[in-house]
Chain A
């Protein structure tokens, strides 16, 4: 078994993924079948955010990956130019 921080990080990731999955499932799948007067609805944002937030997060991720690739490529170009 892995030790120390490895275990903590690993189990933390599992917990986070389970949490996100449960919340999102309740939000998207279960809420429409629950009476709109029920108290549970105040714990969830309007449904438009159920598509908006993952979309924004995905775009941010793509942006980050693009910036990282650009940075690495520019650094390589500068190194080859210095060697020449």
Chain B
């Protein structure tokens, strides 16, 4: 089974469980009020959590990325040499 199919299966399972529990009372299932209060915003909560996790991971990796100052300088000098060389050979920038 492909990854997409797995993800869709998982989401369908969770979604149908949530739908069944939220519509429970209309089918005769009685849950305590606090449980129902926590249950109905759950999909939005999971989305926000995933979004926060993604944002936090991106921020953390930006902050801990290893800069290579020497390599950056070397690359920039090489770029300038290449530009000068190409201009000499007639390429217009």
Contact = CB atoms under 8 A, between A and B. Distances in A.
Interface of B is mostly: helix
Contacts of A17: 52-53, 55-56, 59
A1 interface: yes
Interface string A19-56: 01100110011001100000000000001001100110
Contacts of B45: 24-25, 28-29, 50
Contact of A47 (B37, B58, B60): B37
Contact-residue size bin, chain B (C-beta under 8 Å from the other chain): 20 to 34
Interface of A is mostly: helix
B64 A13 contact: no
A7 B59 contact: no
B91 interface: no
B67 interface: yes
B1 interface: no
Nearest to A9: B62
Given A32-B34, A32-B38, A14 B56 contact: yes
A2 B55 contact: no
Given A28-B38, A28-B45, A50-B44, A16 B55 contact: yes
B41 interface: yes
Nearest to A32: B37
Contact of A2 (B40, B47, B67): B67
